[in-house]
A and B are shown apart, each in its own frame.
Chain A
Amino acid sequence: MTLIPLGIPRRLLEFTIDGEPVRAPEGSTILDACRSVGKDVPTLCQGDTLAPKNACRVCVVEVEGSRTLVPACSRKAEADMQVLTDSERARHSRKIVLELLASSVDLSTTPEVAGWLKEYEAKPDRFGPDAARLNEEPKVDNDLYVRDYDKCILCYKCVDACGDQWQNTFAISVVGRGFDARIAVEHDAPLTDSACVYCGNCIEVCPTGALSFKSEFDMRAAGTWDEPAQTETTTVCAYCGVGCNLTLHVQDNEIVKVTSPHDNPVTHGNLCIKGRFGYQHVQNRD
């Protein structure tokens, strides 16, 4: 059973989204309100278990009276606000942001983005063949996971998950500045020389596949990764008594990766090294 904390009752704010009257509890973001009325706004850096960072700017919407567009993921709804989620202005910015992203990084493993590129008629090629790209080689320096920063959109989710929002290990940070900014560990060292404890919570929140299980990375390289053929089974981790939920992703009767349900009230999608990576004994059939 999933526990749903009800919290104290909150005042309802009345405002409009695309001309339609909406009521949302005080403290909700514009994105929460949009989703509650069945209107989805695309987001990349927003994470259901993390404080919104509003760095990607894909979710920008137009708010009457605001000089610039505002990020729906982090701007709190206010009474009498008039929000336009799909105005020409918002669509233009969203299209350009998608083009800027898709022209600089590899979004091939980012869920949903192909659909948005089409919906907003984004043409990442129009910046020409010489447009600067990250062009980074994947960093494979340990047996558990791979950092492929060619796919990194600098959403800060891994930094937040490793830092004070969940893991409190603080092994990763954004380094450098501007287009040269990258995610790295201290002194840009290999992961094995860093403070990383291999909980894999950064993989859990990565929206683009820049961080992935070594198993997934190898299978993708070999062309054997077949997501539609995988089954997902949620079970309880057997290593200790906390009771974390594990979702086993199984392909051809082998566990290929382990995630954790984000709505679990104990872990909120976070695990430790054993729960996340210690599954080989299950498939040791000798």
Chain B
Amino acid sequence: MDLRFGDSKPTDEERAAIDTLLGPPESSWEGADRSDADLRWARGGREARERRDLLLPGLHAVNDRIGWISEGALDYLCRRLTVPPAEAYGVATFYAMFSVKPRPATVLHVCTDLACAAAGASELCAGVEAGLGLGSGVSVERSPCLGLCERAPAALAIKAGDPVRTAVSAPATVERAVLAASSPDSAPEEPPAALAVPQAGDPSLMLLSRVGVVDPASLDDYRAQGGYTALRQAFAIGPAGVIREVTDAGLVGRGGAAFPTGRKWQATASQPDRPHYLVCNADESEPGTFKDRVVMEGDPYSLVESMTIAGYAVGAHKGYLYLRGEYPRALERMEHAIGQARARGLLGDDVLGQGYAFDIEIRRGAGAYICGEETALFNSIEGYRGEPRSKPPFPVEKGLFGKPTAENNVETLVNVLPILTMGAQAYAAIGTGRSTGPKLFCVSGSVDRPGIYELPFGATLGELLDLAGVRKRLRAVLLGGAAGGFVRPDELDIPLTFEGTREAGTTLGSGVVLAFDDTVPLPRLLLRIAEFFRDESCGQCVPCRVGTVRQEEALHRIVDRTGADAASDIALLREVGRAMKDASICGLGQTAWNAVESAIDRLGAYE
């Protein structure tokens, strides 16, 4: 490749931000001043190009320090990593948290998604903008779900600098959001993660048993609470034994697709191609989902331990934790936990003295829902645009860096701990025949005690809502998030299992249960869902790129209409929706019409 880097130069600060991440450049081939040695020495080739996966961390480094990414900074980063500037520009413009145009150092993301919208996000936005006034040096951005639904409405302030400062305000008032944006350091601390777990301390909890009990910063405390017994058990029974246990336990993926985890691990482990990778998908961005955040904030070592077990089972020596960029506290806790585990020999060249090498690298997302799709996530880590790849080939065969990869989300992985400590039989006895084990549900909206609930599979929707204190005059429940579907208040006896929801013509999805009472204007809610998908479509395939726009336009037209006035647009929506479901490349386009369709069919939204 013959790269041309242009002649724009980085400022000293931009250069420092990048050099802090990558180390100082060694030759003029990667951006240093030209020296005599460069005349006789060429640097580049495959070795230089193989650092492309540092592009996303590099963009973060600049964006964190400066607040936006200038031409000079981008060109310098490209020179350092031997990445074509056009491609890097394509990557930088893909993510919502980056800007390639100058903007104020502080950005306040105000969540306007479902739970927050129902809790008054638009008034909050208007109030914050008025409160900050002109020339405040704060850019207020309307943001998709920040994963703080239990404390809606929510705002996240990010102030660029060295180091970058963040402050979360939830539940946000105008005053508190303004304070978070104007002085993130003095904003009050977030409440402990356990406050998101109304059942905290309940002895029947398995996945959440340590949240609120264990000190998330203390490895010793984690071990005192039974931590690392599962990993010891894993070493005792060997990788094949772990896979057998997970298979016998009947564990299926909790991200929404419900694929058998044991089969995925077996398929990865048996690939002759090396190395193998483990990827933990902690990019939960489904509106209404916040369970992975609570687990990472409240019990970070459990994820470190379960990733180690999963890596051991599939024969990986490196695990990537792809953590969504909007979770500063989860990032901080996981960084700390991984550092401690490494220092104590629980990660590294010789885990627990068993001769198995495993380490975890955190990668921060930068604001793109689509990166939760497994192959888009690989592209994102590799330094490409987060566009899904077409399958086959499947990740177990060709995943991250084209190598066999097992990808699981946080909730799936932490289920491995009880499977190994209690045994597959005892685990499989929990729940129903086809849906085994405990399940986390993210309950928010019109309930008195929003938060994460852990129930064995098989509880009904009504039981869960009773636990959360559902309010009177329930109008609808969104099951499974924006990609899921609505159910009616008279359908609360739906059993919360994969097969039970399927029989009822809906989906469990990622475990979202968003309750809406009759004060929520349904057509506006549907419009917000359509906006979400239009914003988050990667744009790669036509049915999704244009279909999501046409869907939003039709919903705009009928927002105040019913009956015959809406009929022709509803027919249009059905036709477009069917093609999106059938012909889109990935799950985003395929499910973008689900919620709207269910609202029309089950709730009679426009009758």
1/0 contact string of A49-90 vs chain B (CB within 8 Å)? 000001111101000000011010010100000000000010
Q: CB distance A186 to B86 under 8 Å?
A: yes
- Tell me whether A178 and B537 are in contact (CB under 8 A): yes
A-B contacts, CB under 8 A, total: 164
Contact string against A for B residues 524-541, beta-carbon threshold 8 Å, 1 for contact and 0 otherwise: 000000000011111111
Please indicate the chain B residues that have their CB under 8 angstroms from the CB of A76 in the complex.
392
Verify if A13 is at the interface (C-beta below 8 Å from B): no
Asked if B84 contacts A97 (CB within 8 A), the reply is no
- Interface segment out of the listed B87-95, B216-224, B399-407: B87-95
User: A177 to B93, Cβ gap below 8 A?
Assistant: yes
Cβ of A169 within 8 Å of any chain B Cβ, yes or no, is yes
Asked whether B4 lies within 8 Å of A173 as measured between CB atoms, the reply is no
Q: Are B2 and A168 in contact (CB under 8 A)?
A: yes
Q: Is the CB of B553 within 8 A of A131?
A: yes
> A256 to chain B: which residues have CB within 8 Å?
none
CB distance from A145 to the nearest CB of B (A): 17
Check if B548 is an interface residue, CB within 8 A of chain A: yes
Asked whether any CB of chain B lies closer than 8 Å to the CB of A237, the reply is no
- The CA of A276 and the CA of B576, in the complex, are separated in Å by 41
Question: Are B543 and A127 in contact, with the CB atoms below 8 A?
Answer: no
Structural contact, A57 and B575, CB atoms closer than 8 A: no
Which of A89, A100, A156, A176 has the largest count of B CB atoms less than 10 A from its CB? A100
Number of interface residues of A (CB under 8 A): 54
User: B548 to A171, Cβ gap below 8 A?
Assistant: no
Number of interface residues of B (CB under 8 A): 51
Q: Is the CB of A57 within 8 A of B553?
A: no
Cβ–Cβ contact A97 & B94, under 8 A = no
Interfacial chain B residues near A68, Cβ < 8 Å: 581-584, 590
Contact partner of B542 (CB less than 8 A), chosen from A57, A89, A128, A195, is A57
Q: Is B372 on the interface with A (CB-CB < 8 A)?
A: no
A118 CB to nearest chain B CB (Å): 18
On whether the beta carbons of A169 and B2 are closer than 8 Å, the reply is yes
Task: Name the contact of B548 in the complex, choosing from A103, A163, A178 (C-beta under 8 A).
Answer: A178
Chain B residues contacting A55 (CB-CB under 8 Å) are: 540-542, 585
Residue A30 is within 8 A (CB to CB) of chain B in the complex: no
Residue on B nearest A104 in the bound complex, by CB: B546
How far, in whole Å, are A128 and B94 apart by their CA atoms in the complex? 29
B546 touches A60 (CB 8 A): no
Is the CB–CB distance between B579 and A186 below 8 Å? no
A96-B579, A171-B84 known; 11 new pairs, CB 8 Å cut-off, are: A55-B585, A60-B583, A89-B582, A96-B543, A97-B579, A156-B540, A163-B87, A176-B94, A176-B539, A180-B539, A184-B89
Interface residues of B (CB under 8 A from A): 1-4, 6, 71, 74-75, 84-90, 93-94, 100, 368, 385, 390, 392, 534-543, 545-550, 553, 557, 572, 575-576, 578-579, 581-585, 590
Can you sample 23 A-B contacts with CB below 8 Å? A55-B542, A57-B543, A57-B584, A57-B585, A76-B392, A100-B542, A100-B546, A104-B546, A171-B86, A173-B89, A174-B90, A177-B536, A177-B537, A178-B539, A179-B539, A184-B90, A186-B6, A186-B75, A186-B88, A194-B86, A195-B3, A195-B4, A195-B85
